[in-house]
Each structure stands twice: as structure tokens, then as C-alpha cells.
Amino acid sequence: MTVTVSKSELKQVLNKLDSVRLEILRLRAMLLPEEEISEKEKKELEKARKEITKGSAINLDKLIKELS
């Protein structure tokens, strides 16, 4: 099955998709308010990002045991 659309129709669809995407982002922002993180959480997040950058890893089983 082949569908043919004109450039103007394609442009109209793409513009509508952009509008829908923006509306979804607005709704998400309304429904999921941002939280301020504590200084401790900021430091932990920074440490985790550095570990990821260095390629550090931990075994999932070990992590589960630590958190249990």
C-alpha cells in the first residue's frame, strides 16, 4: 500500500506533531512537579555520575544484598 502526500500536507502533519509533543511536555511538567534535592543528594548524584564516567560497576546481586 502506498500513500502519497504533498509537501504542504506533510508540513501540516509535522507541525501538528510538534504541537502535540509540546502539549505532552507541558502536561508532564504540570503533573510531575520538580523537587529540590538536598546537598547530600547532589553530592551522591555527582559521585554516581563520576563513577559512570569512569566505568565503575557493581554486581546486581551484591547491590541487592547491601540494600537488604
CA distance 32 to 26: 10
Element (H, E) at 67: helix 60-67
pLDDT at position 22 is 93
- 10-residue stretch averages of pLDDT, the chain, 68 residues long: 90 93 90 85 90 80 84
pLDDT at position 16 is 93
CA distance 39 to 52: 20
